[in-house]
């Protein structure tokens, strides 16, 4: 009986034509930069806390997945409404729909204040684009802080320090 090719072989041998919808996405393009994640994690922990590399990578993956999850729901809403642009209100609606209600009110307040600040500085079209980015950034920051708190118990986070670990 002949050996069947492994999935890895099948994937490697697959040919993608230019018209296909498939596009290979590099890992660095799927996740937020680890330096940004580490900075947020450090800001929520005591100054002398150490954070293991695998803890940073786990939070990086969780936060990136959370953003994709919320954005996908907001995108579906925009498609149903035949709109091409996701705005901050769409992201807040998606968060509420997906059960993240406790974040919606603080983010509405943040988004409102941000829109007021931007209105004084830039034209309306740029403000709308910036407000959508701000809502997404605020959502990711809120989730990163919660992911850190939730994973701190099981991750290699040690306020006293562990030999061989460095704070980075």
> Which of 106, 134, 141, 105 shows the shortest CA–CA distance to 119?
134
Tokens of 111: 């988004």
Instruction: Express each pLDDT in 60-81 by its tens digit.
Output: 999 999 999 999 999 999 999 9
Give 67's contacts (C-beta < 8 A, 6+ positions apart): 32, 136, 139, 140, 143
Q: Quick check: 145 pLDDT over 60?
A: no
Ordered structural domains, the chain, with CATH: 30-152 (1.10.20.10)
How many Å is the Cα radius of gyration of the chain? 20
Instruction: Express each pLDDT in 104-139 by its tens digit.
Output: 999 999 999 999 999 887 555 555 666 666 666 655
CA distance 22 to 79: 20
Instruction: Express each pLDDT in 17-55 by its tens digit.
Output: 455 555 677 776 789 999 999 999 999 999 999 999 999
- The per-residue pLDDT for 23 is 67
Instruction: Express each pLDDT in 8-17 by its tens digit.
Output: 444 444 444 4
Q: How far is CA 132 from CA 89, 114, 150, in A?
A: 8, 10, 27
Collapsed DSSP state (helix, strand, coil) of residue 46: coil
CA distance 159 to 91: 35
Q: Quick check: 84 pLDDT over 90?
A: yes
Mean pLDDT value of segment 53-58: 96
Q: Rounded to 5 degrees, what angle do the CA atoms 67, 68, 70 make?
A: 65
Q: Residue 30 in contact with residue 55, Cβ under 8 Å?
A: no
Q: 163: which DSSP letter? A: T
| 82 phi and psi angles, rounded to 5 deg | 55, 40
């Amino acid at each position: 009986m002949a050996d069947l090719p492994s999935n890895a072989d099948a994937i490697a041998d697959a040919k993608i034509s230019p018209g296909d919808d498939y596009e290979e996405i590099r890992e660095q393009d799927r996740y937020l930069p680890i330096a940004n994640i580490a900075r947020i994690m450090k800001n929520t922990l005591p100054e002398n806390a150490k954070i293991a590399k695998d803890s940073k990578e786990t939070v990086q993956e969780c936060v990136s997945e959370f953003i994709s999850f919320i954005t996908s729901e907001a995108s579906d809403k925009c498609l149903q409404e035949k709109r091409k642009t996701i705005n901050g209100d769409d992201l807040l609606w998606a968060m509420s729909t997906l059960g993240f209600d406790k974040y919606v009110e603080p983010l509405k307040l943040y988004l409102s204040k941000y829109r007021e600040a931007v209105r004084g500085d830039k034209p309306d079209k740029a403000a709308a684009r910036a407000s959508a980015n701000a809502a997404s950034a605020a959502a990711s920051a809120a989730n990163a802080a919660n992911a850190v708190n939730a994973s701190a118990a099981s991750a290699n986070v040690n306020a006293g320090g562990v030999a061989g670990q460095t704070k980075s």
